[in-house]
Amino acid sequence: MTVESKGDEGVLKIKVTGRFDFNVHKEFREATEKVVAGIHKIEVDLSGTDYLDSSALGMLLLLRDKVSGDRNAVAITGAAKDVKKILEIANFDKLFILS
């Protein structure tokens, strides 16, 4: 499990690989601390994520709150079928852009 992040032209890209659970809380928090003035969009790439739990959902909600709760400010991309299903059951498709 790893969390990588990089900022590029106003977009913060965060990639979570492996299990997205409480064990990556510290790494995810450190990646989100890069949210600074000039960042207008965050993309969370879950293409390498094979599992997420309720703590991951909580981390995503905290990230959304960090950028003023704007649905369009955070996009969750690349989620595999099972991961996307969990996000949809939790109604994250109404809180985030899922692609």
Global pTM value: 0.89
pLDDT of residue 22: 94
Distance CA 34, CA 99 (A): 23
Q: What is the pLDDT of residues 13-61, one digit of tens each?
A: 999 999 999 999 999 998 888 766 677 889 999 999 999 999 999 999 9
Range 2-98 has CATH code 2.70.180.20? no
CA 93 to chain centre: 13
Query: Hey, which bits of 1-99 come out as E strands?
Result: 2-8, 11-20, 41-52, 74-77, 97-98
Every domain of the chain and the residues it spans:
2-98
